[in-house]
Structure 1
C-alpha cells in the first residue's frame, strides 16, 4: 500500500520531493503523481482522522480498487458526462459497458454494482448525482406555504406577501420572489423572472395544480390555462403538473420550500419593508447567501453545482421575454364591434353575433374565431367608450358613408372626369355647411351604381354648358333623359336595321306580274 497520507503531510510541511521519496520509499514519479492528483481534486491538509491510506486511494484513484477486482474498469468521467445527455440512462450505459467488456474478453460489473460504484464516485467527486435528475431537464415551481409581509406606511398594518419558489432538481439551485397576490399575472411574471435568473430554460416545468395555471387535470385530460400554455410555447418548454395529492412528483421544490422558509423567510422576520420592491431586494440578498452556502456532505454549493454541472444544459432564452396576456371570450355586436373593458374593437361584419376569443396584452388586442386569427388592434387606454374600427371590416354601404370627406370626394371626381371634378368643386364651395355638400356628393356617387362613368361625365359636361350652378337633381334628370334618349335611338337603329337587312323576297315576276 502506498503511504498516501504521509506523502501529503510531508509535502504540507515543506519537505522536498527527494526527501518525501526517501522517507516513504516510493519513487519521485509516484510521489509527484499523488501530489498532483491531490491538488486536482482539492484534497489538502490537515486531513481528518478517517482519511487513512485506503480512503485517500479510493478518493484520488477510484479506478485502482476496481482494477484489483479483476473486472473491466469503469470510466466514471465518461459515464457522468454521458448521463447529462437527453434520454441517456445508466441502463443504456451499462449495456454498452457490457458489450465493450465482452469485446475485450473482460468480466463486466453487474448492473447493481455499476450503479453503486457510479453513485460513490459522484458523491465524492461531483456536485450532482445524475441517476435521478438530468441537468437542464426539469424546473419545479410552487408557492411557499409560509408568507412574508410588508408594512403599510399609512396604517402600519402588515400586508401578506406570497413567495414563489423555483428549483432545479439536479443542482438544487433555487429562485424566490415575493408578490402581493397569487393571481395569474404574478404566476406568469414569476416564471419569466426565474428563467432570467437561471439564464436559460429547462425542457419541462413541473407545477402544482393551482387554478391560475391548470384549468383541469384528471387521469384522462389535462387542460392548461391559455396564458400559461402560451408562455410555455414562447419559451419552448412543456408544462407537466404534478399528480393530484402527489408531493413526491416535485420533491425538490417541496424540500427547497422548507429550506427557503427557514433561511430566507424566517431570516427576514425582523426586517421591516414598506414596499414589495424593498422586500424583494432583501429577499434577493438572502437568496444569494442560500445558493452559495456550502453543501454539508460534499464539496461546493448550489451555485457552483449549477455553474459546473447544469448551466450548459439549459436551452437559451428567446430573443424577447414573454409579454403577459389574458384570454377572454366576447360576442360580436350588431355594429360588428366587441367590447373589451369598455373599449370597442371592430371585426369583419360577417362575424356579427358570433362568439370570438380575445387575447389581451399590454399593448395589443388580438381576436380569434375557432383558433383562426381574425384581426388585431392597438389597445386603447383613457376614457371609456373609445372605438377602434378597421375600414375593411365594414359593409360596403358603411364604407361609402365613412369615406365622405372633401379629399375623398375630389379623388373620386378626378377618377370620373374633368366636368365631374368641376361640379364637385362647385358643390363644396357653394354650400354653407361642408356636411351638406358631402351629402349631395354622396348622392352623386351613388349614381355610379346605375350609370357608367362615361354617362355621369357626359351629364355633368352637358349641365355645365347650360348653367354655372349645377345641382345633383339636375344631373339626375339629365341622366334619366339621356338614358331614355339612348334607349330610343337604339330602338330606332334596330328598326332601321330590320328594314334594310331583310331576307330573300320573291318579286312580282315570280307570280306572273311585272316588277316596277
Structure 2
C-alpha cells in the first residue's frame, strides 16, 4: 500500500489524532509518527502547492528510499551514526557487519564505497557532526589566542594585557575560553580544569600546542611533558598528545576555533573597558555563550554547536573525577644531614636512610610529598606561618635520635629533682631561657649524660658552684667546672693513699730473718 504523505500531514494540521489518521489512510501509526516528525524537522505546514504530491514528500522526507532497488537493503543509518561514536568503531567494521546481516537475510548489500557515500549524505542532512574522522568525546584541543585582551588599572590608568585560553571539541566544534593575566604554568593548568568543568566531562585525548608550560623539551622527535602537566592528565584519566612541531594539521581545529573566537570575542569587546579580571571574564562568558548558540553557517548543517554537543558528543565524555585537580609545584632537593628537606624555609623530614640523596618534592596548598625515584617516601601537612618550623616524623629518625622526640620538659625536671636542688634550678633555667624547646631539651640531655662519667654528688656540687659564679649557666661552662673539680680531687686522693695505705715491710719478705742467720 502506498503512503499518503500529503493527506497524513493535512489531517495532522487539522488536529486529527494519529489513530484516526491511520484509519483514514490505512498506514501504520508508527509510520505516521515518523512522517510527522520528519515534516516538523523540515518545517512543512499546509497549505501545500499542487506540485507537492506524495512522491515529492517522499523525496524530501526520505531521500534514501529512492536508492532502494529490488533485492538490496539500505543500512540503518541511525544505528551506524550511534555505533560510529564508540571507541575503535570504524565505517569499515560497520560495513562488514552490515554485509553479514544482509547475507543472513538473503539480500544483496551495497558496496563499501556506496555504503560510505549514503552515510555521508545522511549525516550531512540530519546530523550536525560527521563521524568519519572525528569521534565524539575523543579529543580536546587547547591553545592561547594570538591576540590579547586588555584591562585598565583603575588607579593609574595603565593598560594591562590579558590572554585568552581556548579549548575546543573538534567533533561538535563546541568551544570554551577564559581570560588570564599571564600564560604561566598555573594559568595554563587552571584553565584546563575550568574547561573540563564547563564541558562536564573529559575527552580521551588532550592536544596542546608545544608550549613551554606543557612541554619541557623534545627528545628524539618525542615531546617530553613537564611533571605537573603529566599529573593533571593522570588525574583526569586522559592522554596528552602534543601537536608536532611545524605540523599545523595536528592542531587545525583549535587554530580555527582560536581565529573564530578572536573575532567573535576579542574583536567584539575591543571598545569596552574592564577594570578587573572578573568583569572581563563575565563579558567573555556572555560572548562565548552567543558563539556556541550561533547557528552553523554551512547549509547542510542544522542547529548550533551547543545542540550538536548535547545531542551527539556529551554522552561520549568520560565522567569528571570526584575532586578537581589541585595545583602542585615540583622541586628537586638534597636531603640534609639532619634528614630534613627545605621547602620555602620550612623543614620536612624523610627517612634517615636517604641522607645526601636527591629527592623530588611535590608541593600543594595543603600537602608536601617527597619522592625518591618515583616512590613516595614521606608526606607532611604543609606548614604556614613563622619560618624555620620543622615537621618531623618520629619513624624517620635513627633509634638513637628518637630519644629527642620522646624526651619532654617534664621528664627533664623529674630527673633534675632526683639529683638535687641546684641541678633542678639549672635545668629550669635552661628550659625557660631557650628560644626553641628542642634546643633546651638537647642541652638537658647533655647534662643528664654527664652521669655516665661523674657521680650525682659531683654533678650537684658543680651546679651549686655554677650558680654562685654565673648568672647564665651554659652546658660547656658546667662541663669545664666538672672536669676542674675532678682534677682537684685527684691529688687529695693520692696523699690520703700514702698516709693510710697498707705498706709491706721487710719482715713480710723474710729479710730480717736472713740477717739474723748471717750474724750467727
Pair 1:334-2:337 in alignment: yes
What's 1:274 paired with? Answer: 275
What's 2:325 paired with? Answer: 322
What's 1:110 paired with? Answer: 111
Could you tell which deviates more after superposition, 3-12 or 85-94? 3-12
What's 1:503 paired with? Answer: none
After superposition, the Cα gap between the structure-2 partners of 1:428 and 1:446, relative to the gap in structure 1 and judged at 3 Å, is closer
Aligned residue pairs: how many? Answer: 448
2:362 match: secondary structure: strand
2:331 match: secondary structure: strand
Q: CA deviation at 1:301?
A: 1.4
What's 2:43 paired with? Answer: 44
Could you tell which deviates more after superposition, 349-358 or 386-395? 386-395
What's 2:26 paired with? Answer: 29
What's 1:93 paired with? Answer: 94
Answer yes or no: is the 8 Å Cα contact 1:122–1:128 preserved in 2: yes
After superposition, the Cα gap between the structure-2 partners of 1:129 and 1:59, relative to the gap in structure 1 and judged at 3 Å, is farther
CA–CA separation in structure 1 for the residues paired with 2:376 and 2:358 = 13
Q: C-alpha offsets along residues 452-503 of structure 1, whole Å, 9 cap, x if unaligned?
A: xxxxxxx99x99xxxxx9xx99xxx9xxxxxxxxxxxxxxxxxxxxxxxxxx
Answer yes or no: is the 8 Å Cα contact 2:162–2:181 preserved in 1: yes
Q: CA deviation at 1:266?
A: 1.2
Q: C-alpha offsets along residues 341-382 of structure 1, whole Å, 9 cap, x if unaligned?
A: 333333333323221111111222211111121212222334
CA–CA separation in structure 2 for the residues paired with 1:11 and 1:246 = 58
CA–CA separation in structure 1 for the residues paired with 2:384 and 2:15 = 79
Q: C-alpha offsets along residues 16-49 of structure 1, whole Å, 9 cap, x if unaligned?
A: 799x99xxxx962349777633432322236999
After superposition, the Cα gap between the structure-2 partners of 1:2 and 1:106, relative to the gap in structure 1 and judged at 3 Å, is closer
- The counterpart of 1:375, out of the listed 375, 378, 381, is 378
1:129 match: secondary structure: coil
After superposition, the Cα gap between the structure-2 partners of 1:203 and 1:432, relative to the gap in structure 1 and judged at 3 Å, is closer
Query: TM-score normalised to the size of structure 1?
Result: 0.76
Q: CA deviation at 1:315?
A: 1.0
Answer yes or no: is the 8 Å Cα contact 2:202–2:318 preserved in 1: yes
Answer yes or no: is the 8 Å Cα contact 2:416–2:427 preserved in 1: no
- Counterparts of 1:52-131 in structure 2, within 5 Å, are 56-68=57-69, 70-131=71-132
Q: CA deviation at 1:390?
A: 3.3
Could you tell which deviates more after superposition, 121-130 or 320-329? 121-130
Pair 1:393-2:390 in alignment: no
1:135 match: secondary structure: coil
Could you tell which deviates more after superposition, 314-323 or 145-154? 145-154
Q: C-alpha offsets along residues 390-409 of structure 1, whole Å, 9 cap, x if unaligned?
A: 34434455444455433344
What's 1:200 paired with? Answer: 201
1:433 match: secondary structure: helix
Query: TM-score normalised to the size of structure 2?
Result: 0.75
CA–CA separation in structure 2 for the residues paired with 1:383 and 1:55 = 83
CA–CA separation in structure 2 for the residues paired with 1:322 and 1:440 = 46
After superposition, the Cα gap between the structure-2 partners of 1:133 and 1:425, relative to the gap in structure 1 and judged at 3 Å, is farther
CA–CA separation in structure 2 for the residues paired with 1:340 and 1:439 = 25
CA–CA separation in structure 2 for the residues paired with 1:368 and 1:51 = 75
CA–CA separation in structure 1 for the residues paired with 2:369 and 2:330 = 10
Q: CA deviation at 1:265?
A: 1.5
CA–CA separation in structure 2 for the residues paired with 1:5 and 1:321 = 53
What's 1:423 paired with? Answer: 418
Q: C-alpha offsets along residues 169-212 of structure 1, whole Å, 9 cap, x if unaligned?
A: 11111110110111110111011001111111111111111111
Answer yes or no: is the 8 Å Cα contact 2:412–2:427 preserved in 1: no
What's 1:344 paired with? Answer: 347
After superposition, the Cα gap between the structure-2 partners of 1:351 and 1:3, relative to the gap in structure 1 and judged at 3 Å, is closer
Q: C-alpha offsets along residues 49-105 of structure 1, whole Å, 9 cap, x if unaligned?
A: 999966742453344223236422211111111111111110100011112222222
CA–CA separation in structure 2 for the residues paired with 1:142 and 1:78 = 35
Answer yes or no: is the 8 Å Cα contact 1:38–1:44 preserved in 2: no
Could you tell which deviates more after superposition, 226-235 or 299-308? 299-308
The CA RMSD over aligned residues, in Å, is: 3.8
After superposition, the Cα gap between the structure-2 partners of 1:427 and 1:442, relative to the gap in structure 1 and judged at 3 Å, is farther
What's 1:497 paired with? Answer: none
What's 1:300 paired with? Answer: 303
CA–CA separation in structure 2 for the residues paired with 1:432 and 1:17 = 100
- Counterparts of 1:134-213 in structure 2, within 5 Å, are 134-213=135-214
For structure 2, the 5+ residue unaligned runs are: 432-439, 459-463, 465-478, 487-520
